[in-house]
Amino acid sequence: MKEIFYISKANSIPFVDRGINKYITEDNALSFEGKQFLSKKATWNFKPSDQPTIQIQSNLSNIKAKIYKDAILQETIDAVLKIENLNQNITLDCEVISLEESINKGLKFTSGNIYDNSIDLNVLETYNVFGNLPDFTLSDKNIIGKNITIDTTDYEILSIIYDEAESAWCLEIDTTTLTNDDYIMSLDYDIEAFNVYEIPFDFEQYNNSNLLILIEAETESEQKRYKVSEHLSIGFFEGQIEIQYAGLDDKDIFYSTGIKHLLRTSYLKIIPYTAEENENQTNDNSVYLVDSQTNEGFEYFLGTMTFGKYRQIVLALNHSQLFIDSTGFVIDGAVTKEDNEETNLVDVSFKVLKSNADFEAFENNSISAIINGNNTIVNNNNQII
């Protein structure tokens, strides 16, 4: 099984791999370890009241964070399981049928019950897929070759097949003798190839401190895997803006957990502007304003920063939920940068338009329960063809 130990660059705190690497890349080099002739060290600033959370996608175990101050271990924080994807069970009603184009039997899904497991058989909910297939059959679940249990007997899943006679998508299973009838099937599978974990940090006790954070995890053979953060400075800083951001979709970050991100960065100047759009109707001797829109905007000049912080700025500003010093914004155009020769530094600026989003609602939105991925049953046939 391929090891997965991933921390998105959209997180509040950046991390890189620590270990034996043949090449220097952005994924294993801190800001001052890059290939540029003059690679400057970057520092991420946080206030003592900040409580940033990082999200980790991994199929490793015993994931924890260790906070170091002046190279001395201060505390260890265990990762919290937020979304459980690995080795999940789906148990539901099905029908065994004879397939038109195979001597093997097929499993057809029309409607029925979904159960908590194959032993207790407590009904969780009902389903109706109208000749489609349940979501555990999606191609990225890799169920072909897995064993499916029917009446305490395991049968290998051979393929996904469309049966013209039944006008339905079916699972072809490795048996020719199973009697055509209604059954309950059970399958253990991975909803994703990783679980989702989060580690919350509280910097209240670290005012006026410089910190490093080490994330460690264990493989099945009990070998350690490590990631280390950029340098963190905890204190109170002047001439900085606070950017908070989050998304609505589960992609690079699984925002269904309620996670939000925080970034503090210095600025040189902020210039207000007004974005205008108008439509006029012109006649022979007159002009009429048909429609117009104006939006308040601001251009932020951030000055010089490292490549890594620039990339995080770009990721932050392209989130659907974006707040700068508690005011809601949407990005207006692309983030601009000017390179500085032979260094890892760039000069950065960007434009944003006010969105009137509710900052209080954003701050108060949180989810604490562990999420199990088996909450959707129907998929689109186009996803599995």
DSSP 207-256: TTEEEEEEEEEE-TT--EEEEEEPEEEES--SSEEEEEEE-SSBSSSBGG
Residue 279's pLDDT is 80
40-59 average pLDDT score: 95
Cβ contact 264:76 at 8 Å: no
Checking DSSP bridges between strand 53-58 and strand 80-84, what pairing results, if any? Answer: unpaired
219-244 average pLDDT score: 95
pLDDT in tens, 122-144: 999 999 998 889 988 886 678 99
pLDDT in tens, 74-102: 999 999 999 999 999 999 999 999 999 99
pLDDT in tens, 340-349: 888 889 999 9
370-381 average pLDDT score: 49
Token duo for residue 27: 């994924």
Round to whole Å and give the CA distance between 299 and 159: 55
Q: Does 52 score more than 90 pLDDT? A: yes
pLDDT confidence band for 283 (50 / 70 / 90): confident
Q: What is the set of domains in the chain, with CATH numbers?
A: 5-22+36-83+195-354 (2.60.40.10), 88-189+374-383 (no CATH)
pLDDT in tens, 163-189: 999 999 999 999 999 999 999 999 999
